[in-house]
Chains A and B, each alone.
Chain A
Amino acid sequence: MTAWLFIAPAAIAYAAFVLVPLAMSFYYSFLRWDGIGEARFHGLTNYLTVLTDPKLLQIIGNAFQLVGYFTIIPVLLGLAVASVIRGHMAGPFGTATRTILFLPQVIPLVAAGIAWSWMFASTGVVNQGLRAIGMSDWARGWLGDFVWALPAVGIIGAWVLLGLCTMLLVTGITKIDPSLYEAARLDGARPWHEFRYITLPGLRQEIAVCVTLTVISALASFDIVYISTLGGPGITTTVPGLEIYRLAFAHRQVGLASALAIVLMVLVLISIAPIQWFAREKK
């Protein structure tokens, strides 16, 4: 009884603003409704549309492409940095590093979007840099380019997540028993082998954390895209989050928006599950 009194407030808040809306989302997803007039039952049609409409499939695909940038770049770069700087994070230099690398985590994604929109602008810093090293041919309007807009958005996400992943991995690496490295060195192991057989297994947990976090932020991205490209050019950078927002509030297709929302939720769960399982397996 007492337990319930302790748990109830949280449970009520959670039910009222997460579980009930989620159930409503599920209910809406079977309707054909413009959000104002009368709703009609629409069966599984909305789900069928989400899973067959080439536009919506491309939009879902975009989110998975973003995973490539949001996840792979921070994790790989973070691993590289972590294995090189193992043990160099003490003192004021370490503090400065931590502080700076964490900055992107502290600021709103909107600000990251604004800053990078300006970096990627035709007259922005990226093009300035390219021209300075004689690669003027490469200068372009990055966020308006059919080939490069999505990678550019991906870079923004990678920038935001890089510091956090790096620091997680650096911290993880200090927890690995140093004697393992010494023993390996005595055996004449190459750096690559050290990395492959000591560092990587030792960081299993941290890598899983990084991957989980970054995959979620890629699949559920909204802020960065809304600010930097609004989904263009064409629909090359439109992500499910943005499309849900548009369908629900601009195009007034609440049913379809909700179906896409449910599909997005399921996709996140499906993507995360194997990572969690992988992390737990060899604990």
Chain B
Amino acid sequence: MKTALSNTLVARGLIILLMIVTLLPFIAMFSAALAPQGTYPNGLQWPADPQWGNFVRAFEVSKMDQLLLSSTLIVLGVVPISVLIATMAGYGLAKLTTNKYKWLYLAFVFGLTLPFEAVITPLYYEVRALGLLNTRFAIILPLIGLYMPFGVYWMRAHFLNVPHDLTEAAQLDGATRWKEFWLVQVPLARPAIMSLTILLFLWTWNQFLLPVVLVQDPMQRTMAGALGAFQGQWGTDIPLLCAGALLILAPTIVLFLMFQRQFVAALMQGAVKG
């Protein structure tokens, strides 16, 4: 009994320590964000005269409202289409093809471990040839393609687990297939689709390399890309930088706290399957 209790205490202590380590950088940023502008704050300390105005100024200079809009537009351009075509392909690969087409599936899976850096140079020239540099499409279109390996892999795995008799009911012709897909399969796949949506949202919102290379204007970038530009422009002013960084983080963190369970589930499953 006693050892069990002390075990619990040790366990809790360890977790709390881990939580502190996780939170410390955020707290450090927060304390620095309240220091007077243009100074170099000294470590972690509650400033004598907290400068809440730094957040207001960071909001203004970062043009947060426009950034939010830009990131939202990019997410709206990437996520629904990606989820839709990945779901279709997942279904197609799981239910409509025989082993003969395993190679197609493997071709998709091949992209799972591909570092984005491996294609960023040609992507630049490709996007430039399309005349899309410095537009949101420069991020949207490549991301849809880059998400396909994971998306297809994910949805195929889901559809493989759907019992076969469901599909055998509606055989043959294309129109019926299409109907069955929308009316039967998609509703059943909602949890998998939901998780995929959350993951793609996060990955898009936080995408950095593509905006850095393909889009110069921070107002056309993702949040992470905009944060990079913000650091470039205001990185010399630590309090302002920290205030701006926290502001830019805020929307994701708020969303995360609201849908904590769904996010955690999605991230964990995403990790296991990916």
Whole-angstrom distance between the alpha carbons of A127 and B44 in the complex?
10
Contact of B145 among A17, A115, A248, A268 (CB under 8 A): A17
Taking the complex as formed, is A274 at the interface, i.e. its CB lies under 8 A from any CB of chain B?
no
Interface pairs (11), CB distance under 8 Å: A6-B89, A7-B97, A17-B126, A21-B122, A24-B125, A103-B22, A105-B267, A107-B206, A111-B249, A244-B120, A245-B120
A6 contacts which chain B residues (CB < 8 A)? Answer: 88-89, 91-92, 96, 181
Instruction: Determine whether A269 belongs to the interface, using a CB cutoff of 8 Å to chain B.
Output: yes
Interface residues in B14-44 by Cβ distance below 8 A to A read 14-15, 18-19, 21-26, 28-29, 32, 40-44
Q: Does B193 make an interface contact (CB < 8 A)?
A: no
Interface of A is mostly: helix
Residues of A within 8 A of B173 (CB): 2
Query: Within 8 Å of chain A (Cβ to Cβ): is B86?
Result: yes
Q: Please state if A123 and B148 are interface contacts (CB–CB under 8 Å).
A: no
B interface size (C-beta, 8 A): 96
CB pair B113 A216 closer than 8 Å: yes
Among B10, B11, B111, B149, chain A packs the most CB atoms within 10 A around the CB of B11
Give bound CA distance, A257 to B43, whole Å.
Answer: 39
Report which B residues bind A (CB closer than 8 A).
7-8, 10-12, 14-15, 18-19, 21-26, 28-29, 32, 40-44, 84-86, 88-89, 91-93, 96-97, 101, 104, 107-108, 111, 113-126, 141-142, 144-146, 148-149, 151-152, 173-174, 177-178, 181, 202, 205-206, 208-209, 212-213, 223-224, 227-228, 231, 238, 241-242, 245, 248-249, 252-253, 256-257, 260, 263-264, 267-268, 271-272, 274
- Interfacial chain B residues near A162, Cβ < 8 Å: 18, 21-22
Known: A17-B146, A107-B252, A261-B118. 8 other contacts (CB 8 A): A6-B181, A7-B104, A21-B126, A22-B118, A81-B14, A96-B19, A114-B231, A265-B114
Tell me the nearest residue of chain A to B84, going by C-beta: A9
Q: What residues of chain B lie closer than 8 Å to A102, measured between beta carbons?
A: 256, 260, 263-264, 267
Q: Please tell me the number of chain A residues within 8 Å of chain B, measured between CB atoms.
A: 96
Q: How far is the CB of B138 from chain A (nearest CB, A)?
A: 11
Q: Which 10 A-B pairs have the closest CB atoms?
A: A17-B145, A128-B43, A6-B92, A220-B115, A10-B89, A24-B122, A108-B224, A3-B96, A115-B25, A108-B206
Docked Cα-Cα span, A20 to B125, in Å, equals 12
A9 and B257 in contact (CB under 8 A), knowing A22-B118, A100-B23, A110-B224? no
Interface centre among B41, B117, B149 (most CB of A within 10 A): B117
A93 contacts B by Cβ under 8 Å = yes
Verify B122–A28 contact, CB threshold 8 A. yes
Closest to B238 in A: A118
Q: Determine which of B42, B97, B115, B117 lies in contact with A3 in the assembled complex, contact meaning CB atoms within 8 Å.
A: B97
CA–CA, A134 and B12, complex, Å? 28
Give which listed residue, A9, A15, A119, A205, contacts B88 with CB less than 8 A.
A9
Q: Residues 117-147 of chain A: 1 if any B CB is under 8 Å from the residue's CB, otherwise 0? A: 0110101110110000000000000000000
Distance (whole angstroms) from the CB of B127 to the closest CB of chain A: 9
Instruction: Please indicate the chain B residues that have their CB under 8 angstroms from the CB of A231 in the complex.
Output: none
Residues of A within 8 A of B101 (CB): 3
**Contact of B119 with A14 in the complex, beta carbons under 8 Å:** no
Q: How far is the CA of A216 from the CA of B118 in the complex (A)?
A: 13
Contact call A10/B146, Cβ cutoff below 8 A: no
| B53 CB, min distance to chain A CBs, angstroms | 20
Q: Which residues of B contact A13 (CB under 8 A)?
A: 85, 141, 144-145, 148
Stretch touching chain B among A48-56, A176-184, A192-200, A222-230: A222-230
Minimum CB–CB distance from A173 to chain B (whole Å) comes to: 12
Check A10 against B152 for contact (C-beta < 8 Å). Answer: yes
Residues of B contacting A5 in the complex (Cβ-Cβ under 8 angstroms): 92, 174
